[in-house]
Each structure stands twice: as C-alpha cells, then as structure tokens.
Amino acid sequence: MNLGDEMKRIVKMPGKSLKGFLNKSMEYGGAMSKFNSSIEKVFGLVLGTLGWVFLYPLTVSARVGTPLIELPAKPAPIPLDEWTVAVVDWLNLNISPLFDFIQLVLNTINEAILAAIQWIPIFVVTVAGLDIRFPLWSLILFFLLWYLSGQITTGLLGFITLWLAANFGLYVETTETFSLTLTSAFIAISLGIPSGILAAISDTVDNMIRPVLDLMQTMPVFVYLIPAVLFFGLGAAPGAVATVIFAYPPSVRLTNLGIREVPQELVEAGEAFGCNYLQLLLKVQIPVARPSIMAGVNQSIMLALSMAVVAALIGAGGLGGEVVRGIQRMRVGQGFVAGLSVVFTAMILDRATSNIGAREE
C-alpha cells in the first residue's frame, strides 16, 4: 500500500476512529520526545564525565607545579616594548624639527580658530539681580545652522544649547573645545576623504590601508596620548595629533564604501558619454557617494569631539579640563555641568553635519 492509499484510508475513517488514530499519534510523538530528551541527558552526562576524567589530572599537575606569577623574571621572547621605546627615542632625537614644525602649525590653526570664535562678543544683561549672558555666537549659530540644515529647529537647538553653556559659566571652555574639535576634524577629513578615494580606486591601496585603520580604531584611546606627549609636549598640539589619529578612519572607510557602491550602470553611462577617469570620479562617483561621504564626515567630527575631551588629560583644556578637575576633586556638580556642555556641543555638530548630508541627498 503506497502513501496515497494510506492517506485516503485515514480520511475515510469514521469520526471516532479518526480521533483515536490522532490520539495514538500524539501519544507516540510524546513518547518519542521523552526518549530523545533522555538520550540528550545521557549523552551530556557521558561527555561531562569524560571531560572531568581527562582534565582533572591536568588541573592537579598545574596546581602542583610552580605558579606562573612566581617564575623568575626573564626577558620576553619578543621584546616589543623595548623595540617601541628604541623607535620613539630615535624619532625624538633625529626628526624633532619636524615635530616642532607640526606643533607650530597645529597651534597656529587652533589659536586662529579660537581667536575668531572668541572675537565675537558676549553681552551681559542684568535681570532680577541675575547676570544673564547672551553670546552673539548663539544668534549667528541659529541662522548658520538653519541655512546649512534647512530646518529652523536645528537653528533653535544651536541657539539654546550655546546660550545654556554660556550661562553655565563655561562659554570660554566651550569655545576651546569647539576650536580643538574643528581643527582636528578638518585635518582628519582633509586626509581621510582623499585616502578613501585612493582606496576605492585601487584594491592594493585598500588592502594596505585596512590593517592601519583597524589598528587606529581598536587601539585604546589613551595609548595615543603617550607618544603625542613625547613628541609634542603638553597643550593643544598633542591633543590635536591624538584626535586626528582617532578621527581619521571613519571618513576613509565611508568614502571608500560610498564610491565602491556606485551602481555600475551609472559608471558605464558616464563612460559612454565620453567622461575621462577624473570627470567620471568628480561628476558621477563622488556626487552619488555624497551621502556616505557626509556620514563619514559626521562620524569623524563626533570622534574628534570625544577625543578632544579625553585630550584634556595632556593639557588640551576646554570642557574636558573641567571634567578632569571634577573627577580629581570629587566635584559632582562641576563634572556634570561640563559633561552636559559636551553633550550640547555634540548635538550642535551632529545635527549640522547630518542635516547637511540629508539635504544634499
């Protein structure tokens, strides 16, 4: 009897017979499920026993032997720390003029941006015995963000957040953080976008630069501060260098990704209209990849802000300095207000760049 005849016989069963058949099938399924569960338990017990039998002697022998912490000190098989110190010392002794030049350039750019920001005056109005501060930058920021983003709410956000930071008593520190963030982000993006274009053009460049980007993004942020202090001393310059290294990878990766994801049909259409390689890049690939590139710009600016706060540990100043002093002196209020001002700064920068990208798209 084949499967079709068996199904016809089951369908033609009377109601009670069919019900009995289904009950028996369910009982059989439940019995099989219990049997499988028992097999799994027995199998797990056997594996656990075998594991204990084989691993317990190893554990006992390890406890009987000399603990690793009590072994006599010996040179490391791979003295990478000593090699690193030797390289840093060689660089510091032989190309220190280059580091001095980089320090001069970074300090000049940072001080120029800071002077331009702080040149705009701040007015103080006494209301009910309270000195209310009205920075003119908040009004400029309102119209600037409104124009850049095309949304009045973004302009209002910039006005309110900067006004609050000024009346928290942290206007100068906020401008210092803005200056360091803009300096570092400008350099990181100026280097990152061309690197991303080269990586998109050449698979060889992509394969070479990818491990470097992985190293930059996975290395703990505090590690960047050590060589920065050794090469550039304390202040804004080492903070800017560490921030550039930290904020560089997103613009490279997203520029590379955006250009590689341009539809091949558009590239072929541009070639059919006679575009050379440069025209194809500037008029087809980069405009289509602009949303991805702007996302990389946004992420680089956000990472630059986060690292600019950490850079206060090496004398970069700004809002990060207030956070560090709040931690050192256990002043919860001071640290909270400075942290809130950092959030305001991040909101201004994020809304501006993200809305620019959305409008361009």
| C-beta of residue 149 within 8 angstroms of C-beta of residue 157 | no
Instruction: Report the pLDDT value the prediction gives residue 51, as an integer from 0 to 100.
Output: 60
Alpha-helix runs per DSSP H in the chain: 3-11, 15-64, 80-94, 96-119, 136-149, 152-167, 171-201, 203-218, 221-232, 236-260, 264-272, 277-280, 286-288, 290-310, 319-328, 332-360
Q: Is residue 337 part of a domain?
A: yes
Whichever domain contains 334, its CATH number is 1.10.3720.10
Domain match, 49 and 115 both: no
- Give φ, ψ of 27 to 5 degrees: -65, -40
DSSP structural state of residue 66: -
Position 52 scores a pLDDT of 59
Q: How far is CA 71 from CA 65, 74, 98, 207, 252, in A?
A: 11, 9, 44, 42, 46
- Residues 231 and 91: beta-carbon distance below 8 Å: yes
Q: What is the pLDDT of residue 316?
A: 78
**pLDDT single digits (tens) 21-63:** 445 555 545 555 555 566 666 666 666 666 656 655 555 555 5
The answer as to whether 336 is a domain residue is yes
> Residue 265: which domain range?
103-119+168-360
Question: In terms of domains, do 272 and 208 share one?
Answer: yes
Q: Are residues 108 and 23 in the same domain?
A: no
The pLDDT, as a whole number, for residue 99 is 84
Secondary structure class of 229 (helix, strand, coil): helix
Task: Give residue 86's pLDDT.
Answer: 87
Averages of pLDDT over runs of 10 residues in the chain (361 residues) are 48 48 50 58 64 58 50 65 83 84 87 86 76 83 80 82 84 86 89 90 88 86 81 83 88 90 81 78 83 87 84 80 81 82 82 63 50
In a domain, 189, yes or no: yes
Domain total for the chain? 2
pTM of the predicted structure, to 2 decimals: 0.73
